[in-house]
Structure 1
Amino acid sequence: MSQVEHTDLYRAAWVQAVSALDHWLHREIVSRAIVIINDRPAPRPDRLKAYTVSWATVEDMQNRSIDDVMSEHMTERLGRDSYQKPDRIAEGLQYVTHKKQGQIWREVAQIILPQRTVDEIKQRQTEIADRRNKIAHEADIDHLTGTRRPITAPQTAATIDWIESLGLAIRSVLN
């Protein structure tokens, strides 16, 4: 019979928090893109203007609503992207904002921790995503020692709080 260590629950919470951010960003980007697509006179962000669809997708729009077709298409295509690390997050957001990557992160940093630099904010998110990947893909084992990396309840709670703050800051930047 195997036993679950309490640290396994911290690891699961860490992975789930990062996955929740990634999932929310995908849904947020697609839903905002559909609003922009339907706002005909509004200028489109460059990344959305450059978004391409196949002829089959265009033909599908003859029988179904553009909203439904584009929502499905973007969900499927963007589903291949990971919105966990800062540059990838900013790339995804550029479908729905005219702001460039640097501006997005400057504004996020001002909301989350104004006393910190943009690089510090991005580094923190990168570290969280990297740790998530070590947990999910390497069982959180330190290859030098062959043992699992330490993890604590306060570290995990701080990570979850960070991700919540990041999501709120991103929403604020987009509004």
Structure 2
Amino acid sequence: MTRFELPLAKVEEVRRGTTTLAEAVSEHVRTKWGNASLQNPRKISEALKLVTEDDVWGKAAVEINAWSHNRTSFTGQKLKQRYVEITDRRNKIAHDADLLDGDLKRRRPITEAEVTDAINWIERIALAIATALG
């Protein structure tokens, strides 16, 4: 929080006594992050810096490795990469109708198992991050 930025308008409201510092900070955080899509691991890290300085992705990777009885060897970077792969595919589906590049008639193949796996990964990552945050 040593580098937390608060708009001068909010600082002035606090100075005038029309709002408390806690209310000003809370409103600013809601305004800044309330509609953020958080599809980028860097943005997720940036948002989490509001509550921790820990390497949340690294700690989440440790959790996932432990849950798999160390049969996996995820690092924070590999976990971020997996998250990006899932969100990139989601974006191709949402924004490009999942069409193959340069082909307006054929879509990328996807199976029910791949969809289920992606959903399970998002849940696993979210739970691992929540666990890392305590």
Q: How many residues align?
A: 125
Distance verdict in 2 for CA 1:127–1:138, change over 3 Å = same
Instruction: Assess if the C-alpha contact under 8 Å between 2:92 and 2:98 holds in 1.
Output: yes
TM-score by length of 1: 0.62
TM-score by length of 2: 0.78
Instruction: Select the residue among 40, 51, 58 that pairs with 1:85.
Output: 40
Structure-2 separation of matches of 1:129 and 1:117: 18
Q: For structure 2, list consecutive stretches of 5 or more residues without a partner in the other structure.
A: none
Distance verdict in 2 for CA 1:92–1:151, change over 3 Å = same
What RMSD, in angstroms, separates the aligned Cα atoms of the two structures?
Answer: 2.1
Q: Any residues of structure 2 matched to 1:117-136 within 5 Å, and which?
A: 117-118=74-75, 119-136=77-94
Alignment identity in percent? 37
Q: Any residues of structure 2 matched to 1:97-136 within 5 Å, and which?
A: 97-99=52-54, 103-113=55-65, 114=70, 115-118=72-75, 119-136=77-94
Structure-1 separation of matches of 2:99 and 2:63: 34
Query: Matched residue of 1:63: which SS?
Result: coil
Aligned to 1:76: 31
Give CA deviations for 1:56-111 in whole Å, capped at 9, x if unaligned: 11232321233332222112123475422223222221221122xxx322211111
Aligned to 1:58: 11
- Range moving further from structure 2, 57-66 or 158-167: 57-66
Structure-2 separation of matches of 1:111 and 1:127: 20
Query: Matched residue of 1:49: which SS?
Result: coil
Structure-1 separation of matches of 2:115 and 2:4: 37
Q: For structure 1, list consecutive stretches of 5 or more residues without a partner in the other structure.
A: 1-47
Q: Any residues of structure 2 matched to 1:19-38 within 5 Å, and which?
A: none
Instruction: Assess if the C-alpha contact under 8 Å between 2:64 and 2:74 holds in 1.
Output: no
Structure-1 separation of matches of 2:26 and 2:133: 19
1:154 aligns with 2:113: yes
- Range moving further from structure 2, 62-71 or 103-112: 62-71
Structure-1 separation of matches of 2:12 and 2:93: 43
